[in-house]
Amino acid sequence: MVSLMSLDIVILAAGQGTRMRSALPKVLHPVAGDSMLGHVIHSARQLNPQRIHVVIGHGAEVVRERLAADDLNFVLQDKQLGTGHAVAQAVPELTAETVLILYGDVPLIEVETLQRLLKQVGPQQLGLLTVTLDDPTGYGRIVRDAQHRVCAIVEHKDATETQRAIKEGNTGILAVPGKQLGDWLGRLSNNNVQGEYYLTDVIEMAVKDGLVVATEQPHDAMEVQGANDRRQLAELERHYQLREARRLMAQGVTLRDPARFDVRGEVTVGRDVLIDINVILEGKVTIEDDVVIGPNCVIRNSTLRKGVVIKANSHIDGAVLGEGSDAGPFARLRPGSVLEARAHVGNFVELKNAHLGEGAKVGHLTYLGDAEIGARSNIGAGTITCNYDGANKHRTLIGEDVFIGSNNSLVAPVDISSGANTAAGSTIHLDVPPGQLAVARQRQRNIEGWKRPVKIKKDV
């Protein structure tokens, strides 16, 4: 059956996570640059619910502060008395026909898996996500009758030896008709080994009420893997990265080594992209066709147009690199930097809020901040823009076809017009008219007979 019903989503995120040995609430520990809970919320949003309810407890204020958004309703669970008790805290807020229950420490769940699960829900049917494992230790077991119909879930600690031999485990992810949920939760008992109110007991109640429990399974068991300690967190991280690597390779990216590549955000790629080892892509990154990224680079919130080359050990943050431009090795492009087509930034060059025109060149050992550099201009080695006076930032304007000599200090605000030149070793603080050469340095004096200082030996 296909469900077109209204949807509320409840995300359980109240646990302390003592095995993390951390002051940070468990659900805020990061995977691929976002918190585990952040990943779950991102997936939940793609299902277009009418509301997302996040049940918080341990570190509630920190969780609320980090993830506050208009579409999130935070519900406090003062005492952690089990998953059933947690969901019950959100019941007064639930108004949709279908309720989907997710977990804040299960960050790899795929939207497509949840969509398949939701299609199972109707007035007389609920959807349960299960997983078949060689070793389901710790998982509640799915108990089925002679007709292979789900009749109950038994928690691992309460299971008999026969039940523990069952390979099908409960993931905890559940989609149910909203009208019945409140009634079932109100009938829960904590008469079990843990002394908790288990959400899993809802399954047996639903069966007794005549509902069918339909099951779905994830394509990949790691989708439903949670993290209770740092080791499991690292396993989730590596699995996420391998999944992203496979996705990008399927779209036309060559990765020199998929095991040495990290995505920590949203990446859009073209075809025939080559990415070397130890590259990290963070935030929102767009990479067009024929881009080459060398080893040990970090690209954050940037756009690389067709044919861009980023050489080894470069850091690109909040920049736009035009078609056929290049940067590095050891280049740093800070937010607001723009390279037009075929512009060149070489080794040990730093740009901040600087715009390089088409074909402009900044070869090496240079800092350009708050600067506008015209097409085809060449900036000599060791040049800096002195853009900060201790209180305010000022811009340096360099026209087209300008030649800036090596070891220049350009004291902003200053305007060097098209076709102008500056001599090596100059400190330029006045505007330079078109076509002129600016020389701003002291005349050299050679002192005859000068004696080099001798180091004075100190008594021990």
Q: How large is the angle between the packed helices 178-186 and 83-90, nearest 10 degrees? A: 130
The mean per-residue pLDDT over the stretch 304-310 comes to 98
Q: Give the model's confidence band at 136: pLDDT under 50 very low, under 70 low, under 90 confident, else very high.
A: very high
User: Which helix H or strand E contains 250, and what residues bound it?
Assistant: helix 230-250
The mean per-residue pLDDT over the stretch 245-258 comes to 97
User: Model confidence over 449-458: pLDDT tens digits?
Assistant: 988 888 888 7
- Rounded to 5 degrees, φ, ψ at 401 are 55, 35
Residues 6+ apart with CB under 8 A from 456: none
3-state secondary structure of 93: helix
Residue 390, CA distances (Å) to 18, 387, 429 in order: 47, 9, 16
User: Model confidence over 51-108: pLDDT tens digits?
Assistant: 999 999 999 999 999 999 999 999 999 988 999 999 999 999 999 999 999 999 999 9
Share of the chain above pLDDT 90, in %: 90
Query: Half-sphere exposure of residue 318, counting CA atoms within 13 Å on the CB side?
Result: 8
Q: 287 vs 192, which has greater pLDDT?
A: 287
pLDDT for 456 equals 85
Residue whose tokens read 């075809």: 271
The count of residues in the chain is: 460
Q: What is the CATH number of domain 7-223?
A: 3.90.550.10
Largest CA-CA distance found in the chain, in angstroms, rounded: 108
Residue whose tokens read 């892509």: 281
Q: Give the model's confidence band at 1: pLDDT under 50 very low, under 70 low, under 90 confident, else very high.
A: very low
Q: Cis bond leading into 335, ω under 30°?
A: no
Domain ranges within the chain, ordered by starting residue: 7-223, 230-438
pLDDT for 245 equals 97
**Is a pLDDT exceeding 70 seen at residue 172?**
yes
**Is a pLDDT exceeding 70 seen at residue 3?**
no
Measured in whole angstroms, how far is the alpha carbon of residue 361 from the centre of its chain? 33
pLDDT for 16 equals 85
3-state secondary structure of 178: helix
pLDDT for 328 equals 96
Query: How far is Cα 400 from Cα 298, in angstroms, rounded to an integer?
Result: 31
Residue whose tokens read 């077991």: 141
User: Model confidence over 326-338: pLDDT tens digits?
Assistant: 999 999 999 999 9
Q: Give the model's confidence band at 427: pLDDT under 50 very low, under 70 low, under 90 confident, else very high.
A: very high
**Is a pLDDT exceeding 70 seen at residue 298?**
yes
Active site residues per annotation: 364
Contact present, 42 and 34 (Cβ < 8 Å): yes
Query: How far is Cα 364 from Cα 377, in angstroms, rounded to an integer?
Result: 14
Contact present, 316 and 330 (Cβ < 8 Å): no
Do the domains 7-223 and 230-438 sit in the same CATH topology, yes or no? no
Query: How far is Cα 282 from Cα 287, in angstroms, rounded to an integer?
Result: 12
Averaged pLDDT of the chain: 95
Q: Residue 261 is encoded by which pair of tokens?
A: 């590549």
pLDDT for 452 equals 85
User: Which helix H or strand E contains 206, and what residues bound it?
Assistant: helix 201-208
**Is a pLDDT exceeding 70 seen at residue 4?**
no
What residues pair up with 396 in beta bridges, in sequence order?
371, 414
Query: Does the domain made of 230-438 have the CATH classification 2.160.10.10?
Result: yes
**Is a pLDDT exceeding 70 seen at residue 207?**
yes
**Is a pLDDT exceeding 90 seen at residue 420?**
yes
On the 0-12 / 13-18 / 19+ scale of CB atoms within 10 A, 455 is: exposed
The mean per-residue pLDDT over the stretch 357-372 comes to 98
Q: Of 171, 47, 154, whose CA–CA distance to 105 is shortest? A: 171
pLDDT for 208 equals 93
Query: How far is Cα 180 from Cα 277, in angstroms, rounded to an integer?
Result: 53
pLDDT for 443 equals 87
Query: How far is Cα 347 from Cα 238, in angstroms, rounded to an integer?
Result: 32
3-state secondary structure of 177: strand
